[in-house]
Chains A and B, each alone.
Chain A
Amino acid sequence: GESVGLHLPTLSVQEGDNSIINCAYSNSASDYFIWYKQESGKGPQFIIDIRSNMDKRQGQRVTVLLNKTVKHLSLQIAATQPGDSAVYFCAENMGGGGGNKLTFGTGTQLKVEL
């Protein structure tokens, strides 16, 4: 399954399928990007990050792809499990002086169907 945009869409996938969550970011000067997973009633949990000098990074069952030309970020989850059900936020870090400023996208609700 695949989702597009920042409108808190819902992506429903079957257990075992691959999930693709997309995000369009706003600032071409952003130098660092992070995906967070947020389960109901909990704080965001770091999943994976990528710097702007990379276009792909892999973790355990997750891959992040970065396309700076079109300012697009995606999170791929392999073999989606029920425990992956959550809201997923992409965040861009604009860096610079004054602290890491994370700007979050609206989020995508991932629902895993058994």
Chain B
Amino acid sequence: QTVVTQEPSFSVSPGGTVTLTCGLSSGSVSTSYYPSWYQQTPGQAPRTLIYSTNTRSSGVPDRFSGSILGNKAALTITGAQADDESDYYCVLYMGSGISNWVFGGGTKLTVL
């Protein structure tokens, strides 16, 4: 069974830069998995940040960026702000008829 891995938690100082990653229990993440990233605050629905590795969704500030770093997808937040404190989820597309989409377990980001 495919497992998508994320750091359980991360912390960043206000104004700092943080990179969250999204990997596979077996194998490497590539653009072929169309990695996407979502931000979720408690009690709210996820908000789409990044799709297809590095394309920002409408209205998302440019301090959020996506990339492939080594064998993982990555979400970088530059100039972190207090309201960036959220859970961040990556999703990988596994292909039609397989598992389609598999979510990572999420990273809880603390800004302090």
Are A and B part of the same complex? no
Chain A contact residues, CB within 8 Å of chain B: none
